[in-house]
Each structure stands twice: as C-alpha cells, then as structure tokens.
Chains A and B, each alone.
Chain A
Amino acid sequence: MKATGASSRPAVPRQGWAAAWLSGWDRFWFTPSDPLLLAVLRIAAGCLLAWSSLVWLLDAEGFFGSTAWQAPENVWRMNDQPWHWSWYFAATGSGSVAVLATVSLVAAVLLTIGLATPLAAVVALAGYLSAVNRAPLNAFGFDDALGLVLLPLAIGPAGARLSLDRLIRPRPAAGLPRTSATVAVRLIQIHLCVLYFFSGAGKLFGASWWEGTALWGAVANGQYRTLDLTFLAWHPLLINALTLGTLFWEISYAALVWPRLTRPLVLAMAVFVHLGIGLAMGMMEFGLAMIVANMAFLPPDLGCCGRRLGSFTPSASSEPLS
C-alpha cells in the first residue's frame, strides 16, 4: 500500500472488526512490561499482609480454633462450603492453629522482602485464603482489597526486581520486560474496575446517596469513628458535595481510569477517598490496601521514581517509556 502524500501517515493494513478485537486483546494482555511496578506492589501489599497476619495471630484460637467466634462446623452458614477451602479446617488443636497462622506471617514477610519470592507468594496467598475462608464472620473490605492483589502477585514475576532474591542471585535478564508482569497488573486493574463498578451500582439503590446525605451516615456512626467530623452537620451542602462526588467517582471509575487525560484525576480522588476513610473511620488498612491496588494504574517503570529504584536492582533496559 502506498502513501498518498508527503504528509500522510504510513499506510496500515485494514483490519476487520473481529481481528481488531483480537489484536486489542493480544496487545492489552500480552505486551511485555517492566516488572518494577509489580515489585513495588509486592512490597506494599506484603507489608499489609504481614500486618494482617500478625493481627490474625494475636487471636488465632478465637479466629481459627475449635472454639472460635465461629465454629468450623458453622462456617457453611456464611460461605459456600466445601468450596471455600482453608487449611485451618485441618487444624485440630490450638498448637496447630498457631503454627499455621505463623506460617502465614512468615510467608508474608518473605514476600515483602522478596526472598524465595515465587514460593512465598503462593504460601502467602494460601494463608490469606485460609484465613478469610475460615473466618468469614471477621473478614471485611480490607481482606477483599488484599485478595485482589495477592493472586496476581503469585502468578507474576513479583520478585524480579527490588528483592533479596535478585541481590543474592543477580540476573540482569530477570528485570527485562515480561509478559507475565503485564498479565498480573492487568488482572489487578480489571478487578479494581469491577469492584468500583459494583460498589457504585449498589449505592444507586440507596436514597441517601441520591439525596447526598450518605456520607453523614458514615461520619455519625460512632462504632467507626476515629476522627470527629460531626461539625459537618452544620454544612449539609458540603456533605452533599462529598457524597455525590464519591458516588460519581465510583460509578465512572471503570471508564475514566483508562484515558490518560482523566487517569490522574481518578487516582487522586482514590487517594483522597481512601485516606479519608482510613483517617476518619479507623480503617487505615482498608484505605491503604485500596490505594495499593490503585497503584496498578501507574506506569510499569514508575517513571523517574522507577529510575531511582532501578539502581537497587537494575533492569537490563534503562530506556524511558515510549
């Protein structure tokens, strides 16, 4: 095919509709990318998982034992047994429960520092799944957010950079752009879009979200409160604005996080909302876990920050993003 003039773009072979879809799918999932972003997600999520594992361990018998807040034989009342597998169902005494909870904690620490990373990621994921599947009475949104990141970390090259594995056994090729890094990050991105879509859609049932008063319901709930924001009672229009802003952001997240023009705004709002929840409602772990998941939308080489981080475990390619 010939170009038709000096200013014309190079000719591109015409694609059918189905072929364009397949090509888009292929590019979206299988374009190799820098594993640096996944490494940063591993460290951040690993810290949160280690903290969560430590807190589970503080009352391991109460969460996972035979006389737990929810006895093993009643777990089916809150989740879909036998499919919600947990290694705690096999634990017969408080000693074995404590050992398994400790294994989870150790795996989370190893994942964070990147030592024996592939194995640590799988064991940490198993420990996480075992905890939330055994103790559905005690699990909440923080666990949902952690789970969203952990499976992709287990299938992607999470230890390829910023890890003790790479310090102990330097392998320059490990830092090369990897297809599995792209798949892992894409899974987090899509899952996050699904989460926000349903979270926003669920709110559309509620009159208080349409009226713009829902935020007050969260602020006035004394069981959550760690920061007294009841002064907002004197500023109802501000409550309206914050409520409607949150609702619009959640509903539109899945569409507006992809274009580069709106992505920074959407991510900035995510930080604002989740830090707000963390500070005002005492759910800092949940807020941080959601922010970590949102980091999946950062550039895979993390731009200039990535170049500084890259000096720790250099990538074979130091070229900037195209």
Chain B
Amino acid sequence: MPQPSPVRSTAAGSDSRWPLAVRLLAAVPILLYLAAVVLPPLAGPPPASELAGTILQPFRPLVGLLALSHGYRFFAPNPGPGHSIRWTMTTAAGDQKTGLIPDAEADWPRLLYHRRFMIPEKIAGFVPLPEAPEEIRREAVRDWQPLVEDIATRLLVRHDGREVTLDLIEHYLPDTFEVREGRGGDDLVIPLGRYLWRGGAGE
C-alpha cells in the first residue's frame, strides 16, 4: 500500500512529538473541522439527503463562523448562460442614464468585475424563467425582490437617481453547430421592476 505522505518529518533536530494527551485533545478540533468541511456540500445544494441536513444542524455555528457553507459545485451540473442586469435611471436632475452590472469597460480590475458579475449570476438563481408556472414566479418574487431593491438602492445612491428600472438579461449561449454556421440567438430579458428613491417598492 503506498504511503499517503506528502508531509514527512525532516528527521534530525525535530521537536519532540506532541505528548499523547495533546494529540488526543487535538484530534477533537481536527474532527470537528473535518465535519464542518464535509457536511455542507453533502447537505446542499439540492438534491441532498435529509440525513446530511440533520447531521449538519449542530455544526451550523462552526460552519457559519468559518464561512464553510459551500457546495463546491463549480460549473455543475452544467455550465449555464451568463447574466447581466441592465438598468435605466432617471436622475434627480432629470437626466436619463443606462448601464450594466457588470460593466466590462468600467469595472476594473478584473477581480472587481467578477465581484460585480456575481450579482446578476446569484440573482438569476432566485428568478424563475418566464415559462415557469405563474404561481412559482409569484412566490419567487418574495425571495428576489428584497435583494433587487438593495441593488436598485445602491444604484440610486451611487448615481443620485430618482427612479431606476432593472432587467435581468440571460445571454444566449450558442452551441458549436450555431457558431460554425454563424448563427446565434436572442438574449432573454426578464423585467425586475421599477424602483423609486426612498420609496423602495418595486412596481
């Protein structure tokens, strides 16, 4: 059996091993940490077992404290289309402004672009597609609208705006056949509402 040991002692001059009592004590936080690492991706995102969710419960404080609540589902189950939020604003002075989140021209350095790119990507996870049943779309509004209100407020504060209209854009993802044939498709636009400064209510 191969020795799974990329960490090895450098022999001479080593400090003595921890005493047995210390090693036994150290095993407790090690095991707790390993549980806090393994349980969150096991318990979510769906589909996930009720068992994993139940076992996770007592670990929630530790998982939260150490920001370990990750699913690690990078580009899974399938890499999907990209998203942007398009905004159209009337400023306090009565001017019209438009913009995109993220803005590839203005959001620099690239890491800042990515931090802002996460905004539409994560909002898109809350917003059902237009073809979803009416009841599902209506119920989802309760989840996404408070988050979109925050985004609208941020834009209004930043640009001294009076009102702003937001749309979520799902960019068309062409397949290899379409690219080879020079074809494409239309982006999907999902209205997210109009928001007034200090009113905060979506229409």
**Which residues of A line the B interface, CB within 8 A?**
25-34, 51-52, 55-56, 58-59, 62-63, 67-71, 74, 77-85, 128-129, 132-133, 135-144, 147, 151, 173, 176-179, 182-183, 185-187, 189-191, 194-195, 198-199, 202-209, 213-218, 220-224, 226, 230, 232-234, 236, 239, 258-261, 263, 282-285, 296-301, 315-317, 319, 321-322
Total contacting residues, chain B, CB less than 8 A: 79
Chain B residues within 8 Å of A34, by CB: 10
Chain B: CB-nearest residue to A58: B112
Chain A residues within 8 Å of B199, by CB: none
Chain B residues within 8 Å of A151, by CB: 33, 66
Q: Which of B90-98, B130-138, B172-180, B188-196 contacts A (4 or more CB under 8 A)?
A: B172-180
Are B114 and A283 in contact, CB atoms less than 8 angstroms apart?
yes
Chain A: CB-nearest residue to B146: A74
Are A223 and B64 in contact, CB atoms less than 8 angstroms apart?
no
Chain B residues within 8 Å of A137, by CB: 118-119, 122, 147
Are A221 and B82 in contact, CB atoms less than 8 angstroms apart?
yes
Cβ of A174 to closest chain B Cβ, rounded Å: 10
Cβ of A274 to closest chain B Cβ, rounded Å: 11
State which of B30, B65, B75, B113 has its C-beta within 8 Å of the C-beta of A187: B30
Chain A residues within 8 Å of B60, by CB: 80, 83
- Bound-complex Cα distance A298 to B6 (A): 6
- Bound-complex Cα distance A20 to B26 (A): 19
Cβ of A308 to closest chain B Cβ, rounded Å: 16
| Residue B99 CB within 8 A of the other chain | no
Are A32 and B14 in contact, CB atoms less than 8 angstroms apart?
yes
Are A179 and B18 in contact, CB atoms less than 8 angstroms apart?
yes
| Residue B51 CB within 8 A of the other chain | no
Chain B residues within 8 Å of A30, by CB: 17-18, 23, 26
Which B residues, 110 to 136, have Cβ-Cβ distances below 8 Å to chain A? 110-119, 122
- Bound-complex Cα distance A41 to B12 (A): 24
What are 23 A-to-B residue pairs whose CB atoms are below 8 Å?
Answer: A30-B18, A30-B23, A31-B8, A31-B9, A31-B17, A69-B151, A79-B69, A80-B64, A140-B114, A183-B30, A187-B30, A190-B37, A206-B76, A209-B76, A221-B79, A234-B180, A259-B4, A260-B2, A263-B6, A285-B110, A297-B6, A317-B11, A319-B11
- Bound-complex Cα distance A143 to B11 (A): 36
Chain A residues within 8 Å of B10, by CB: 33-34, 177, 300-301, 315, 317, 319, 321-322
Are A68 and B77 in contact, CB atoms less than 8 angstroms apart?
no
Chain B residues within 8 Å of A183, by CB: 26, 30
* List of 9 A-B pairs having minimum Cβ-Cβ separation, nearest first: A83-B64, A223-B82, A217-B79, A206-B77, A202-B76, A205-B77, A317-B13, A258-B4, A202-B73
Chain B: CB-nearest residue to A82: B64
- Bound-complex Cα distance A317 to B81 (A): 54
Among B6, B65, B69, the one with the most A-chain Cβ atoms within 10 Å of its Cβ is B6
**Which residues of B line the A interface, CB within 8 A?**
2-15, 17-18, 23, 26-27, 30, 33-34, 37-38, 41-42, 60-61, 63-84, 102, 109-119, 122, 143, 146-147, 150-151, 153-154, 157-158, 171, 173-176, 179-180
- Bound-complex Cα distance A315 to B158 (A): 53
Are A33 and B8 in contact, CB atoms less than 8 angstroms apart?
yes
Chain A: CB-nearest residue to B30: A29
State which of B23, B64, B72, B176 has its C-beta within 8 Å of the C-beta of A239: B176
Cβ of B87 to closest chain A Cβ, rounded Å: 12
Are B9 and A177 in contact, CB atoms less than 8 angstroms apart?
yes
Chain A residues within 8 Å of B66, by CB: 129, 147, 151
Cβ of A222 to closest chain B Cβ, rounded Å: 6
- Bound-complex Cα distance A82 to B65 (A): 9
User: In the complex, given contacts A202-B77, A220-B179, what are 8 additional A-B residue pairs having Cβ atoms less than 8 angstroms apart?
Assistant: A63-B115, A69-B150, A77-B146, A85-B65, A142-B111, A179-B18, A207-B78, A208-B78
Chain A residues within 8 Å of B110, by CB: 226, 282, 284-285
Chain B residues within 8 Å of A224, by CB: 82
Chain A residues within 8 Å of B33, by CB: 151, 187
Chain A residues within 8 Å of B8, by CB: 31, 33, 299-300, 321-322
Chain B: CB-nearest residue to A208: B78
- Bound-complex Cα distance A283 to B110 (A): 8
- Bound-complex Cα distance A222 to B171 (A): 8
Chain A residues within 8 Å of B9, by CB: 31-33, 177, 322
- Bound-complex Cα distance A174 to B27 (A): 24
Chain B residues within 8 Å of A132, by CB: 67
Chain B: CB-nearest residue to A284: B110
- Bound-complex Cα distance A155 to B8 (A): 19
